[in-house]
Amino acid sequence: MELCKSEEVCRRTGCEKSTSKILIVGSGGIGVEIIKNVVLLGFTDLTLIDLDTIEISNLNRQFLFNKNHVGKSKSLVAANVSQANFAFHSNLKITALHNSIMSSEYDVDFFKTFKVVINALDNRAARSHVNRMCLAANVPLVESGSEGYMGQVTLIKRDVSACYECDGPRQEQKTFASCTIRNTPSLPIHCIMLTMT
């Protein structure tokens, strides 16, 4: 009998769906799909972290959010909406953190509390940071991303597979998709992009 994909992932990472803590970094376009799929696969202990707030431009592709959520934390709303929509999982526990994963409070010990980390990030600096933390904590990282109509998913596990930075440091990001620009700019390039749109 062939294993379903979730059973294959569990076999490769050593996780048990009902008891494994999963960290999902990013609650945007890819993140909301991951949250839905992880819950529907039977995982019941999730932690979501995202620094962003919901914008009107998110509503066409981030199905957990509606116009009443604009201006609110993506991770907090995603947790609340998921908790309500997936109430059939009576033991579902979703913890939401509205913060940057690069904050010093999310150190190696924090990462060690999770069985698997899933990246749904839209910037290289944060991806590289999570990659390094997962390697140091020896926690498997599922790295995901998209560019245009293409998507990619990679399982990164220390001493088993290549990591996000194994090819050397990534070049500094020079262009930014308009969907990644936040209402509250955090970099000078965000201000420039906001004036151009």
Is the residue at 152 inside a domain? Answer: yes
- Matching residue, tokens 């999982």: 89
Helix (H, G, I), strand (E, B) or coil at 21: strand
Give the separation between CA 140 and CA 12, rounded to whole angstroms.
Answer: 9
For the annotated catalytic residues, the residue numbers are: 179
Structural domains in the chain (count): 1
Is the residue at 181 inside a domain? Answer: no
pTM of the entire structure? 0.80
In the prediction, which pLDDT does 13 show? 60
Is the residue at 197 inside a domain? Answer: no
In the prediction, which pLDDT does 89 show? 78
Range of the domain at 9: 5-170
pLDDT tens, N- to C-terminus, the chain (197 residues): 344 566 666 666 666 787 899 999 999 999 999 999 999 998 999 999 999 999 999 898 899 999 999 999 999 999 999 999 988 878 899 999 999 999 999 999 999 999 999 999 988 899 999 999 999 999 999 999 887 788 888 899 988 877 777 766 655 655 555 555 555 666 666 666 656 55
Is the residue at 38 inside a domain? Answer: yes
**Residues 112-150 pLDDT 10s:** 999 999 999 988 899 999 999 999 999 999 999 887 788
Whether the CA torsion 47, 52, 55, 60 is positive or negative: it is negative
Is the residue at 37 inside a domain? Answer: yes
Contact 152, 120 (CB under 8 A): no
For residue 89, give the CATH number of its domain.
Answer: 3.40.50.720
Give the separation between CA 161 and CA 43, rounded to whole angstroms.
Answer: 24
* Token pair listed for 147: 């560019």
In the prediction, which pLDDT does 3 show? 44
